[in-house]
Amino acid sequence: MKLFLSLALFFIFCAMSWSCSEDGSSGFLPSNNLYIPVGFKSSGGLTKDQFNAVIDKVEAIYFPIVSNRDVSFKFERNWEDGTVDAKATRIGGWRVKMFGGLARHSTITEDGFALVICHEIGHHIGGAPKVGTFNPWASSEGQSDYFATLKCLRKVFLNDNNLALVKKLKAPKALIDACAAAWTSNIDKSICIRSGMAGASVASLIASLKGQPESKFETPDMKVVSATYGEHPDTQCRLDTFFQGALCEASFNDDVSQNDEVEGTCHQSLGHTMGLRPLCWFKPKK
């Protein structure tokens, strides 16, 4: 009877969850049937060379960091696969699975693609809060979004010519002004803006899949949850999370904790007022 109830709960959870799958993986996007094959012509998206170059860049930074945990870690490059998603799994070792279909989507920029990779790394090492019962190892969707801009993209962008790159972006005033208020150095401001625009790229992808209007930096999700939500937040809420991660003053060199939601982050209990995980998915414990 207990086994039957456990299985029943599992299938109910999977039916309601965007990140539950038969291999125990945690996906980046809401469930969708979109498939973008090799050779598909669009006005945007990445080439195969760009796909590999972005993965190379992130892998060079994070492969040693994750492998130092004495685990088998691998980035799987599925360029030929038209699946519009990305996944983290621990079947056969710690894996980050990137698909060509997502990279070929017209909304995706190189920085947006890097953010997706960072999100999937975040499921493995992004810290508390976790998903919960069925994927206890995985950082929640919101936490993985937060980790992507709080820690990962800052490492990935650190040695780039960020001042020049930001000049090419059509960043909205709300993002520019917020980054200027959060950071003092021009380099930090530029990384903040790049991270925000990476978030805007993937928020556009999510909105297109869900048939929703574009999310904006100046229209945050005002919902307040009564308990931390482990699955994919709404599109605006996800953009807000990327945005706040980019604004947080915590150093990218300060590790997050796998058990403590405060360590290495911006948190209400530390007196922070900027860079906080949005209340549209996060309920602070302290």
Any idea where the domains of the chain sit in the sequence?
Answer: 21-270
Q: Which residue has the tokens 């598909």?
A: 40
Range scoring the smallest mean pLDDT among 58-72, 131-145, 203-217? 131-145
Q: Which of 263, 141, 228, 242 lies closest to 191, judged by CA?
A: 242
Confidence of residue 1 (pLDDT cuts 50, 70, 90): very low
Amino acid 25: pLDDT: 56
Q: How far apart are CA 269 and CA 286, in angstroms?
A: 6
Q: How far apart are CA 54 and CA 261, in angstroms?
A: 29
- The answer to whether 150 and 248 have CB atoms below 8 angstroms apart is yes
Radius of gyration of the CA atoms of the chain, in A: 18
Helices (H) and strands (E) in the chain, counts: 10, 4
Q: Which residues pair with 26 in a beta bridge?
A: 88
pLDDT above 90 covers a percentage of the chain that reads 85
Confidence of residue 14 (pLDDT cuts 50, 70, 90): very low
Say if residue 9's pLDDT is above 80.
Answer: no
Amino acid 131: pLDDT: 87
Amino acid 285: pLDDT: 87
23-43 pLDDT per residue, tens:
455 689 988 999 999 998 777
Say if residue 57's pLDDT is above 50.
Answer: yes
Amino acid 149: pLDDT: 98
| 193 Cβ contact partners less than 8 Å away, ≥ 6 residues apart | 166, 169, 171, 175, 176, 179, 246
Q: How far apart are CA 236 and CA 222, in angstroms?
A: 10
Q: Which of 156, 201, 196, 168 lies closest to 180, judged by CA?
A: 196
Amino acid 235: pLDDT: 97
- Report the chain's mean pLDDT, rounded to a whole number: 91
**0.75 exceeded by the pTM?**
yes
* Exposed/middle/buried for residue 213 (C-beta within 10 Å: 0-12, 13-18, 19+): exposed
Residue 74, helix vs strand vs coil: strand
* Exposed/middle/buried for residue 34 (C-beta within 10 Å: 0-12, 13-18, 19+): middle
Amino acid 24: pLDDT: 52
Confidence of residue 270 (pLDDT cuts 50, 70, 90): very high
Q: Give the single-character DSSP code of 150.
A: I
Amino acid 286: pLDDT: 72
- The answer to whether 230 and 131 have CB atoms below 8 angstroms apart is yes
88-117 pLDDT per residue, tens:
999 999 999 999 999 999 999 999 999 999
- The answer to whether 58 and 121 have CB atoms below 8 angstroms apart is yes
Q: How far apart are CA 91 and CA 86, in angstroms?
A: 15
Q: How far apart are CA 51 and CA 234, in angstroms?
A: 27
Q: How far apart are CA 226 and CA 246, in angstroms?
A: 25
Mean pLDDT across 228-251: 97
- The answer to whether 23 and 89 have CB atoms below 8 angstroms apart is yes
172-195 pLDDT per residue, tens:
999 999 999 999 999 999 999 999
Angle in degrees, CA 53, 152, 77, rounded to 5? 35
Longest dimension (CA), the chain: 63
